[in-house]
Chain A
């Protein structure tokens, strides 16, 4: 797929991997604690707030940040911008890892997790009117599709493997994947469109429990648009940091081009949301002065700030500024999702929720395992394009 992609190589058990493994170790203990003693013993969840940090971050925010694969696929395969092709694999890897963690996160949140094996088997018991089912199925399916989309990277490595069977399987699989790639890519575009919007639908179902500043029939559309902006931002962020961490030349031209594509998306999001609030006569709530109005206003500011930060060509070609804008963009999308799922949601008087230390530790552990996997995979398999810059120490 990507001819120039090469493994980064180098030592695997680096200090940062050691540190992340330490965090992961603590988190694994907490996960075990949660699986043995239950949600009540480890989380701050209650009957009013059944969805907590694990859903709001690991699933809802995590999969949106993992929409880089989706966003880049739209760019390369739908809009036919072939020059962004080198970004496909790293974006797909981030996406695959993000969705895998979301899948783990969903299972962590299940009260009777030991019965989850029944879900795929007893499909005639499925409730096809359930948005939650759609999200769950789509996330699981998309996770599989992402790993299949990414699998040529592994087979390319294994086709020269000293182990005979692995070599034969790899050599057989590659042409099949090549032929099937059109359908896989099509699925990879369809599935996120379905479930990212359904993540919005989920909170629309909360009805009156959702604050009017967030409660709108276009919530699914807003979730879909913001996931694309978050995905692009993640690609920029991850690409820039890979270039530092693995001492490679940053793909500044490509990132600048991507940044140019993000600006209209952010404008569309902010304009749609503003127009919707105005149309529904809820703009006044934005100036009500309470905590939620401040948060909603902050979301607007964060969504629009990167459009200013990336307004000129020179600013788009400044890598540091590009990363800052990407971070603001990710934070904007994350805040929008946290607000919709936790802050704007009021199950009734007197309920309250703030994640417990255990919940935070588990989330930290999941992020750590994602980072470890990313580092190990790019070092071993041909994911990143471009060339090592360490020898020449090229300026940005």
Chain B
């Protein structure tokens, strides 16, 4: 029924070595920040055949996220991925079609009810009751609610599933929204990106499959391990930014020398993602800034497809400090005594002033006030 993409039934056999397999597990574990022990757990689970069942839904999307997962430069990695997870429903990868495919989905949902991972790719249209995206006569809203409702974990991959992405760009003709807008009250892990980095997905899925937990999420439902810091913080061109060396035009000398792309509209300073440390497709520098194009902020709802490509973003602190604190000397501190003294003085001023003003309101007729010592 399912397309058998897996060239290997057991890791270590066939075209891909066990070494490659271990390496993939280690990278996925490192991506989620779980450490080398977790990689062994992933491996053991995979070897015992305990692969997490994954139902992959596709709505208003371009299949870019799937492509980025399945078409890395290394041949065979797609196979490895399919050895780690049991992809039970995926429209792009299916050999089956029509009722056959729908039946496969239902079967997987029954077999792994409450345990399978539901991955959503693409935005969900809400206008006109969601008629702009229908599969097998059902709207995307209906399918998503059905599949996600019985899932153990829901992961939205890509910017479209995270908040609407390109389909939701102004004027948003179909009323496209992210999965979490439909699944109110359910935890949805958002892995935005256009496309999302496959390692962030793989790490999240494997963590859920092995430990039954989800990674810590930020306010927008993004795993903190990947979206906790900005591109700018770990950008390989950061030194050029700090030194004030900028590419002014595409193809100018600065651009060719690999200078900072901020003035060309790079959104790195406001974009939370790990692209600058976890490149795509295991190829060094395979990511926008690496190939000389400004980051366009694909993981940020407020930036991607909203702020024009070459508009520069506001940065709170565009220049490096004049001085850096010395490494070994003290960099200033707060003495508890000084804090206490300062607090006591402020307290005395506020308290004393209030009490005195109360007496003023009462009128200085009584002796106590009249005999008050000169304070001023």
Contact = CB atoms under 8 A, between A and B. Distances in A.
Contact of A245 (B338, B342, B353, B376): B376
Interface stretch (B183-191, B253-261, B325-333): B325-333
Nearest to B362: A320
B376 A375 contact: yes
Interface in B194-249: none
A159 B95 CA distance: 112
Contact of B338 (A321, A355, A393, A395): A355
Given A48-B325, A319-B361, A320-B361, A244 B335 contact: no
Interface string B262-275: 00000000000000
Interface in B311-362: 314-325, 330-335, 337-339, 341-342, 345, 350, 353-354, 356-362
Interface SS, B side: loop
Contacts of A318: 361
Contacts of B322: 347-348
Interface residues of B, number: 44
B375 interface: yes
A177 interface: no
A196 to B, nearest CB: 23
20 contacts: A15-B373, A16-B374, A17-B374, A44-B338, A46-B332, A48-B321, A241-B375, A319-B361, A321-B361, A323-B357, A324-B354, A351-B321, A351-B331, A354-B339, A356-B335, A357-B341, A359-B338, A364-B345, A371-B375, A396-B360
Contacts of A171: none
Contacts of A357: 335, 337-338, 341
B360 A44 contact: no
Contacts of B362: 320
Contacts, number: 137
B341 A350 contact: no
Contact of A208 (B317, B357, B360, B374): B317
A247 B324 contact: no
Contacts of A390: 370
Contacts of B333: 44, 352, 354
Contact of B376 (A48, A238, A281): A238
Interface residues of A, number: 54
Interface string A341-367: 000001111111111110110001000
A44 B321 contact: no
A44 B373 contact: no
Nearest to A371: B376
A207 interface: yes
Interface of A: 14-17, 44, 46-49, 207-209, 211-212, 238, 240-247, 281, 318-321, 323-324, 327, 331, 346-357, 359-360, 364, 371, 374-375, 390, 393, 395-396
- Give the residue among A14, A49, A354, A375 with the most B Cβ atoms within 10 A: A354
B324 to A, nearest CB: 6
A385 B317 CA distance: 52
A321 B357 contact: yes
